[in-house]
Amino acid sequence: MNWRRAGRWRRFYVGNRIAKSRLIANLQNISNTLTSDPNRMNNIEIKKVSISDIDRLQEIGRQTFFETFSAWNSAENMKKYLDEEFSVENLTAELNDQNAELYFATLDDYVIGYLKINFGPSQTELQDDKAIEIERIYVLKDFHGKNLGQLLYEKAIQIARQKNADYIWLGVWEENSRAINFYKKNGFIDFDKHIFKLGNEEQTDIMMKLKLKDE
């Protein structure tokens, strides 16, 4: 064995774990400050994601999806989905798509949530030129209950109105009662169902929409 190389690897591995532990601690501290000082919400910024942000997008995407769904899915299915959907190649295609936009929610330059919206042919199902799809709104678990999801949702609504969309729609897993209640609170109604495949398991998504214009 090359002991020098092994020693470098051990230092890298330990250093990586320490850096991750510090990051988690910092995020928890920031989350606590939002609880103790609600005015800190005014410091949250919604920023459009660019190709130079791809590493941070991959990290927030993988972490929030894992936090949201790992308890209900096998480790094998989760790994397959995360490796495929949040690969550099897939995220590069999403960021280069002219009919999709991604936004970070940041606080103190930490990414704590994100939004993905699709237009026209890039919508995953309806592909209606008069509609916009919210494909993803995800928030780090430490920041649940801090109104961050609402901020990202309002950004999506703002863009939909700017683009003169008739309605906005999305799909949400039928077992994700937290998300379903969130969208119902914001006026969404069920209108259909579709199949979402996670690894080798088929799951049912409830499709919901919100009209932005009167008939």
Strands 45-48 and 100-107: antiparallel
Task: Give the fold, CATH level 3, of 44-211.
Answer: Aminopeptidase (3.40.630)
- pLDDT for 180 equals 95
pTM over 0.85: no
User: What is the token pair recorded at 215?
Assistant: 């008939």
Q: Are 196 and 203 in contact (CB under 8 A)?
A: yes
User: Which residue blocks in the chain are alpha helix, DSSP H?
Assistant: 3-36, 54-69, 75-85, 88-96, 148-162, 177-185
The residue to which tokens 């863009």 are assigned: 159
The residue to which tokens 């991604």 are assigned: 102
> Which residues in the chain land under pLDDT 70?
1-41, 215
Say which of 103, 114, 138, 183 is annotated catalytic.
183
183 is catalytic: yes
User: What is the token pair recorded at 214?
Assistant: 């009167």
Phi, psi of 2 (to 5 degrees): -80, 95
- pLDDT for 90 equals 96
- pLDDT for 127 equals 84
The 10s digit of each residue's pLDDT in 27-73 is 566 566 565 556 666 789 999 999 999 999 999 999 999 999 999 89
Strands 167-173 and 110-119: unpaired
